[in-house]
Structure 1
Amino acid sequence: MIAIIDYGAGNLFSVKNALTYLGLPYQITNDLEEIRRADSYILPGVGAFPFAMKMLRQTNLIEEIKKQVVEKPLLGICLGMQMLFEESYEFERCSGLSLIPGKVDRWDAGGLKIPHMGWNQLSVKQPENPLLKGLQEGDSVYFVHSYMAYPKPEHLAAFCEYGVQVPALVSKGNVYGAQFHPEKSGEVGLQILRNFGGLTK
């Protein structure tokens, strides 16, 4: 069972529809006992980092999530990926979940429009990453974001070019993050969600 974490700042229904299409069992929840019983987790996110972290803190689930992902997979999507990092500078300095080292901040896209919105091609850094199984170099996924993560090189699984190398997929242990929206990225995105479902014991 995949728990889609409901904290009031996530795009739950497009994720729900994608998992339904794939036949992956899931539950939308912010209940502590259901979180403990789940086999893996998806943390979606839309909007601004400080507001999303405030909403997540109000669920009183942060410490339990950190405890569970020691042994269970977690996928953060879009803002949910950014929340995996130590801190963000979106509007103000704000602490994140500190599950992946690094920060989230603005970037110089070399005159390209920000937000980075639309389809972009993946360049694979870690072909052995389980979420990239079945994907090809240059496969396209759908982005919508105005800030980007700055991970350590060893945690960068794939990137895209948008003025600079923009981290697209990151991972550390059982924790994965997709800056793009797999649930809106056609068959490529469905394959990534299928791969994530395959990590669930």
Structure 2
Amino acid sequence: MHRKIRWKVIIMLVKTSSKRCRTDNLEWLLNEIGVKDISEVQGLSVSEFIERYSQKHFSNICLDRLLEVGYVYVPEGEKLVAELPITTRLKNILLRNDVYILSDIVKYSREDIMKFRNLGEETMKELEGVCEQEGVRFISLHEIEDRMLEVKFSDRQLTKMFHLNILHSEDSLNVTDEEVECLIQLDKGMLKKIEKMQKLCENHGNK
């Protein structure tokens, strides 16, 4: 019985060691995330890499290796979350939500951020503090609502608009057919609201 357990432990250790050795191999890591040639990732910013490969297994380890060898770069003036003087808790929360550069937090609304797993009140305050210090600002749905003239939207509708980058009433004038289709799929009444907002914007512009 003890021998069986011992062999199981040995096998597990061998597998773990083998896996660790492979994750040190950049070529193997790239293959795991679906990259066949280094030229596919060479010259990408951290944010671009995350946007393309964050859903792939080992993408975070691969990113670390690419940063080490200089194939992926951090834009000038930006800071990696891993290098910020913040708690390990906040660091892990941000990385788990694909925020590797602090400014990438703006892809989330305040309401989105507050739903991050393990993000309590104190950690939220810490995040707000470091963002203020670094000149990064994320917005709330209520701020967006205030910019939409007299047109009223639900939080669900505002969330969709946020992720389509419709942040001001004037943005309604430049929505694409594809974006309108996305809004209609969420709520058929969105078309009338967008059209109303467009008319209000045009009227404001003519004054």
* TM-score, length-scaled by structure 2: 0.27
* Larger RCO (CA under 8 A, 6+ residues apart): 1
Which structure: greater helix fraction?
2
* TM-score, length-scaled by structure 1: 0.28
Which structure: greater strand fraction?
1
Larger Rg computed on CA atoms: 2
